[in-house]
A and B are shown apart, each in its own frame.
Chain A
Amino acid sequence: MNRRRGDRRPRLGRPVRQVVARFAEIVCPPEIRAGHRTADVLAEFELMLGALPPATRRALVAAFLAFDRGARLYRPARGQRFARLDDQVADAYLRALLRRRDGLTALVRRLRGMVAMCYYELPEVKEEIGYRPGPYIVAVSRRRLESYGPEIRAGEAAVLAPDPPGPGAPGRGAPGRGAPGREEGR
């Protein structure tokens, strides 16, 4: 899990965890179950919740619970909560809410987006879709230093250097790397 100092992971209560886990199984691709990733998605979700203000956090938790209980009003659910629906009915319930074109739709879309975001942050999922930025960043960073090392060091040192007199005096920007920042021609 991608944690760092200062990250706080508020633990959701068991009922909400159950709803979010079930929601993740419907929202995320089937590999979430095949790869036993539900717990990791939940942990990532809890980390994201920790970054939100308390009022937003409470509202999201309440929204998940309302989403879960609201399934009872959905006829094909036959009075059951979302967390207890089979995949087909659970998916149909979610789609029905997303089709409503009202404030509820925006809320459900946001919940869906948050959970999908957590799934695609898992390292193994990024690997599966071919997103491997780490080695790429290392390679281009090395290329940068090899190609422009002296200019980079001079530019970094210039940060602390005194300014030439006058507000508009020519400064220490890398010469010849482009004219002033106005619109340029075709």
Chain B
Amino acid sequence: MSEPEIRETRAENLRETAWLSVAALVVFIVLLLSVLADVGGRVGHMVVTRENWLDVLNAFLVALLVNLPTLILLGVLTDFSDLFKRTGEGEVFTQRNLRTLRNAGSGLIWAAAASALIVPNVLRWIELKGGGGFLWQANDLALGVAAMGIAILGLSHVFAEGIRIKTESDQIV
């Protein structure tokens, strides 16, 4: 079997992963709309004037901060979408896919950290104007997302081994 034929067969076998790319994009759009609706709900009713523009800006930044975990998840979904698009085209064990997988894994961990640590502590800090102790709001969902991120980072090590085996296999003509 020639190389283009091998790639085409691989693409054929992994064609359904291209659908996962579309699914990731759909979830991306739903989450994006959810973030926009939330930010709009928090800031949309405010009328910007010369006197209150700083308050509006503050409210907007706080709204973004509250949605930080979801914004990070949007990046993770983009990574998954790109990854599945490429695998659907027959590009599987490549350094680019490994980087994307690692980005997605660390993104999930960052999203969980943002949800459990960063957002509650920064919000409290803003509320108390600099004071306050340390908050740890790890709910089941945040822990689950962090666990998935760790699992994906673990899988990326397996993926790296797959790339090494493929490189070796490519040296056999």
Partners in one complex: no
